[in-house]
Amino acid sequence: MACAPLSLLYSPKTMSRKKALLLLLLAFSTGTLLLRQSAHLGWFPKSPSFSCAPLLSLRPKHTAVAFLKTHKTASTTVQNILFRFAERHNLTVALPHHACDHQFCYPRNFSARFVHPYTLPPRFIASHLRFNREELHRLMPNDTIYVTILREPVTMFESLFSYYNQYCPTFKRVPNGSMEAFLDNPHRYYRPHEKFAMYARNTLVYDLGGDPEHSPGDPMYLPEFIHQVESIFSLVMLAEYFDESLVLLRHLLAWDLDDILYVKLNMRSPESKLNITSARLAAQIRTWNALDARLYDHFNATFWRKLNEVGRDCVQKEVHALQRACERLAHRCFRGQPQLRPAIQIKNKELRPWQPSAKVDIVGYDLPGSGPPLDEQCLKLVMPEVQYSRYLLRKQSLRNRRRAAPHRPLPPRGLLRPPRHPVPKVA
């Protein structure tokens, strides 16, 4: 597959009208052919597929997924996997309206009105939102499979505390940004109803549409809430067992091993992490986030039951196959390991991850500086959330506007820019 140099891919503003027209024509004439074949072509040599469920490949791949993207749970990596799958299979991804930023107006309760009209009707949804069952049912097709991911509350809270330290007023009030000081007397700093309070307590329950302020002493609340979650979500993945979770996801959706390859995204540098080694601190975090802690424990137990049902040894074998395939992909894409870098050192600004504050360093990937230009699929593999969302919105807008108005090959200038990457490219 031929690739334009990166400088061309990333300079939409300098693109002349002529160029854009040419691009559109190219896209139009080759698009159909490529799109029809893309799902089968595969950009990478197909991984030798060991599978715990050999009959899986006989089932058609499931192509309607609602992924509830929770905060600080490795969910950006899952989102990237889903975005790439949807793009490869020409499936529409619901994306936020401009007014909502790159999240669905989070922390507001999700509403179908937050969805950009050019991304309707969707088959996938994977951006941050606060779960709202009715509105998602209204938006998504009726064969949608619901999936989410949780993380163990102690490390998750540490991550929230440092990631949002300049964002969430609760954390900003804490002297010296000391987590110990906060946990010794959280009510001194925490105001339940102020802006971004949901990052400070029971964030998982909040994201899932529950009440993070509910008294943990109420014996009725959490079991009922868990029951609701279980009745909607077919799979609750866990960040601690990420690869195992992906194997379960693949089984659920009847996807190939090649559909779940990834590199980790949106991580902090090791220096930005506090290492919680004190049992007292860990206990305080669990007490403060008691609802999340019990929610996690429940789903950790069901997760291991699921693994046992599939067969732990077998899952382990698939995990190894997945890890080897990810390494091969990284080697092919980045001529070795992808290079983790602090954002400011990443030359290509389209690959710079969003930085929550000067105190936290979110690392991203830089691409090898020499050699032939990178395959577009490799680029997507390391593209941060904000940029990938923006890119997908442009691409889908172009497609869906054309579908809506077939006699208007070029949308009015300014209203809509063509995707930054010439989308379908042929050798």
Binding residues for ligand NAG, rule: CB under 6 A, are 35-36, 90, 109, 142, 152, 175-176, 178, 181, 209, 240, 270-271, 273-275, 300, 304, 399, 403
Measured from the CB atom, the residue of 5 and 121 that comes closer to ligand NAG is 121
On whether the CB atoms of residues 80 and 385 are closer than 8 A, the answer is yes
Least distance from ligand NAG to the Cβ atom of residue 111, Å: 9
Helix (H) or strand (E) holding 340: strand 339-342
How far is the CA of 243 from the CAs of 247, 260, 290, in angstroms?
6, 9, 27
Least distance from ligand NAG to the Cβ atom of residue 181, Å: 6
100 exposure class (CB count in 10 Å sphere: 0-12, 13-18, 19+): buried
Identify residue 299 by its one-letter amino acid code.
Answer: F
Least distance from ligand NAG to the Cβ atom of residue 291, Å: 13
Measured from the CB atom, the residue of 56 and 181 that comes closer to ligand NAG is 181
Least distance from ligand NAG to the Cβ atom of residue 281, Å: 14
Measured from the CB atom, the residue of 76 and 155 that comes closer to ligand NAG is 155
Least distance from ligand NAG to the Cβ atom of residue 235, Å: 16
Interior/surface letters 66-88, b for 16+ CB within 10 angstroms, e for the rest: bbbbbbbbbbbbbbbbbbbbbbb
Least distance from ligand NAG to the Cβ atom of residue 141, Å: 7
Measured from the CB atom, the residue of 110 and 334 that comes closer to ligand NAG is 110
Q: From 97, 9, 4, 91, select the one nearest 351 (Cα to Cα).
A: 9
Measured from the CB atom, the residue of 10 and 146 that comes closer to ligand NAG is 146
Measured from the CB atom, the residue of 374 and 423 that comes closer to ligand NAG is 423
Helix (H) or strand (E) holding 246: helix 242-253
On whether the CB atoms of residues 357 and 166 are closer than 8 A, the answer is yes
